[in-house]
Amino acid sequence: MPNKKAGEVVFVLVNGGRRFREDALTRCDERISALVETVRLLVRQHTETRLLMFPAGYLGVRTFAQLEVAVEQVNEALDQIGPGFGVLWGIDVNNKRPKATQKKSSVARQTGYPYFVSYRGPKREKALLQQLTTSTKEGSDPSVLQRWVRRPALLPGTDIAVLICGEALGECMRARILEEEPRALVVPAHQSVNLRIDHVGMGHMSWHHPLAAFQKANDVAVALCDHTRSPRRHAYSWPAKVSQPCKIQGVPRGLTLRCARF
C-alpha cells in the first residue's frame, strides 16, 4: 500500500550553469559525498522529511556499466545510514545531449534517453527510471506511452509521482501519472529551467505555465529542482506557498535546500 503519510519533500537546487554536465562528470565522487552528507544532516535536523530530491543529471558517468556502479555506491551508503525517507537523484550516461545533426528520436524510440533518476526508499525499495521524452511535442504524442512499459508512475511505496525534466511538458506524460491519483508530482530537471510568470518573449516558453495549470486543474502539488545560478529566483513549487527555504546547518557547498509540505 502506498505511504500516504503527510511530510515534507526537501529538494536541492545545485549551483551550476552551462557547464553543469561537465561538473557532474568530473566531480562524480565529490557529488556522491555531498548527497550522502545531506542525507545525514536531514536525519539529524529535519525529522519531517519524507523525500529528498536532487536534480536530473546530478551525477554523470561515461558508460552504462559505470551507471550501475555509481547507483550501487550511493545505495550502499544510504543502506548504512538507513534514513526514514526516500532519496531521489539524477544520473546521466555520457552527460552529453544528442547532437542536432543526429536523429535523437532513433535514440528515444525504443527505450528512452540516456538520462536516469534513481530512487532508494525508506524500506530499501529501489527503482531506476529512464527519461522517455524531452519536449512538449514529443511528450504530447500518444504513441510515446509505448515506451512507458513497466515504469512505475509513482515512486515505490508512495503516492508521489515523478516526471523527469522535459517529460513534465508533455500532455500525455502528465495524463499518465494522473491515472495513479498522486498526492504530488516531483520534477527533477537538468539546468536553468525557464520559470518566468509572464507571457512576453521567452515567457511564452516558460515551464511555469503548464505546471501551474496542471496543479490548479488537478489539485496535485508540484515541486521542481535543477542546476541553477539563481536558486532564490523562484519558489520552485506550485502552488508557491507550499515551499520555503529549508534551514539546515552544515549543508555542503553549492547546494541550496527548499522544502515543500504536501
Q: Are 113 and 130 in contact (CB under 8 A)?
A: yes
58-67, 70-79, 143-152, range with the lowest pLDDT: 143-152
Domain boundaries, the chain: 9-261
Whole-structure pTM over 0.75, yes or no?
A: yes
Q: Name the grid cell of 117.
A: 533518476
Q: Tell me how far apart the alpha carbons of residues 172 and 160 are, in angstroms, rounded to a whole number.
A: 18
Q: Please check whether the domain covering 9-261 is classified as CATH 3.60.110.10.
A: yes
Element (H, E) at 76: helix 64-81
Query: 252-256 contacts: CB < 8 A, separation 24 or more?
Result: 252/33, 252/34, 252/37, 252/38, 254/14, 254/15, 254/16, 254/34, 255/12, 255/13, 255/14, 255/15, 255/34, 255/38, 256/12, 256/13, 256/14, 256/15, 256/231, 256/232
Name the DSSP letter for residue 20.
H
Q: Which residues contact 164 (CB under 8 A, 6 or more apart)?
A: 56, 90, 115, 116, 117, 129, 130, 131, 132, 187, 188, 189
Q: Which residues contact 130 (CB under 8 A, 6 or more apart)?
A: 111, 112, 113, 115, 116, 151, 164
pLDDT at residue number 19: 84
Q: Which tens digits make up the pLDDT trace of 101-129?
A: 344 443 444 678 999 999 999 999 999 99
* The residue count for the chain: 262
pLDDT band for 141, please (50, 70, 90 cuts): very high
Q: Tell me how far apart the alpha carbons of residues 86 and 157 are, in angstroms, rounded to a whole number.
A: 10
Cα 147 from chain centroid (whole Å): 19
Query: Averaged over 30-54, what is the pLDDT?
Result: 97
Q: Is the pLDDT of residue 95 over 60?
A: no
Q: Which tens digits make up the pLDDT trace of 211-246?
A: 999 999 999 999 999 999 889 889 999 999 999 999
Q: Tell me how far apart the alpha carbons of residues 139 and 169 are, in angstroms, rounded to a whole number.
A: 7
Q: Tell me how far apart the alpha carbons of residues 98 and 211 are, in angstroms, rounded to a whole number.
A: 26
